[in-house]
Structure 1
Amino acid sequence: MNVPDDRARRRALRLTLVTRREAMPAATLAPWHAAIAGHLEALLAQLAPASIGFTWPYRGEFDALAVVRDWLAGDAVRWAALPVVGEKGQPMTFRRWTPESPMATDRYGIPYPAEGPSVVPALLLIPCNGFDARGFRLGYGAGHFDRTLAALTPSPRAVGIAIEDGRLDDLDPQPHDIPMDWIVTEAGVSGPHR
């Protein structure tokens, strides 16, 4: 059972995991990220989504750009999208992205497509600072993805992307937390969880 100030525990855990990941040498992360890319490509081939929402790499996270570019090149009808962070407390929206898209940056300094209508991708690639065996994730604490997954219709399939260093015994999820359908790490793919 969560205590009312579970936020402090999660904030400390998040800080530990992000700080540790950012301190990892590129030579350590490179083979892990290559393994994640391979497992992710296999999962995408299995699930065969028509559209993918993904995030721009941030704070040492897995960079999905190459995987998404290759996936897009595999079929002209496929499309990709990036999130647009709106007002505090509101769900994110998504705009279509191509390598040629004009970009802007949000209040976190993260690029997003500068123009275009909102779209709902069939599948979302969601970064995880931490995760547990039930598919719950630890993000950055603002609730952007939980709020967005709850609001999008139809609800996209959610694929969490993490490194095994972020594996936790139990995140003790909050009532609003939404588990990922799958988690992809350098060790492989787990799921579906929901």
Structure 2
Amino acid sequence: MSKTNENSTAWKQALRRDMAARRAALAAAEHAAASARIVGHLLAVLAPPQVVAFCWPIKHEPDVRAIVAHWRQAGSRAALPVVVGAAQPLAFREWSDATPLQADRYGIPTPAAGDWLIPDLILLPLNGFDAAGYRLGYGGGYFDRTLATLRPRPLAVGVGFEINRLPSIRPEAHDQRLDWIVTEAGAFKPVV
């Protein structure tokens, strides 16, 4: 690994820790209110999809399960991502309130069984993000690989808190640009 790559990797690792610490510092009421505002903005700009993929909230990420419940009542199907193998794209397994969940290798609740679905909309958690539409994840590259391979490409909507907005995440060639960024402050299309 070159010195430049080592510096970039170290910078992103430190940034990931800082972004998670910022969310962890939010009071429970503030977190719930900001999550509710995000759900309201999602309702205002997006039509119910055929299949919505979302992530179970971990590490104090926004909780957008209310929009998933709303869309399911409108006839959408919902799915959660499943890591099927290291360095592979994610697969999506159908989820409902009755779906049993088990922790995957990363401790994320995941359906143990159910139909495999292909989403037309993915709600992606934003560990960090920038106005150009790039997202800082947790370093595994799973969503970038997934968005690069799904055809047709689903609408990619990042959901996060304004405290995690950055001037730039210093995107690399493999980073996939999001179609929308939604925070408690509103819904934004990336500045290209």
> In which range does the TM-score fall when normalised by the shorter chain?
over 0.9
Matching of residue 4 in structure 1 with residue 2 in structure 2: no
Question: 2:156 — aligned with what?
Answer: 158
Q: Which runs of 4+ in 1 moved over 6 A?
A: none
Cα distance in structure 2, aligned partners of 1:192 and 1:99: 33
Cα distance in structure 2, aligned partners of 1:168 and 1:157: 22
Question: 1:62 — aligned with what?
Answer: 62
**TM-score, normalized by length of structure 2?**
0.93
Cα distance in structure 2, aligned partners of 1:193 and 1:87: 33
* Identity, % of aligned positions: 48
* 1:44 Cα deviation after fit: 2.2
**1:146-170 Cα shifts (integer Å, max 9, x gaps):** 0111122221110000100011111
Cα distance in structure 2, aligned partners of 1:124 and 1:193: 20
Question: 1:106 — aligned with what?
Answer: 104
**TM-score, normalized by length of structure 1?**
0.92
* 1:193 Cα deviation after fit: 5.9
Shifted more, 32-41 versus 52-61: the winner is 32-41
Question: 1:52 — aligned with what?
Answer: 52
RMSD of aligned C-alpha atoms?
A: 1.6
Cα distance in structure 1, aligned partners of 2:156 and 2:50: 14
Question: 2:28 — aligned with what?
Answer: 26
Q: Do the aligned residues in 1 keep the contact of 2:52 with 2:79 (CA within 8 Å)?
A: yes
Pick from 108, 128, 142 the counterpart of residue 144 of structure 1: 142
Pick from 13, 34, 37 the counterpart of residue 39 of structure 2: 37
> SS of the counterpart of 2:107?
coil
Structure 2 letter corresponding to 1:127: P
> SS of the counterpart of 1:63?
coil
Q: Do the aligned residues in 2 keep the contact of 1:122 with 1:157 (CA within 8 Å)?
A: yes
Give the length in aligned residue pairs: 189
Q: Do the aligned residues in 2 keep the contact of 1:92 with 1:144 (CA within 8 Å)?
A: yes
In structure 2, relative to structure 1, the CA distance for the partners of 1:62 and 1:179 (3 Å cut) is same
* 1:192 Cα deviation after fit: 5.3
Matching of residue 128 in structure 1 with residue 130 in structure 2: no
Cα distance in structure 2, aligned partners of 1:30 and 1:64: 10
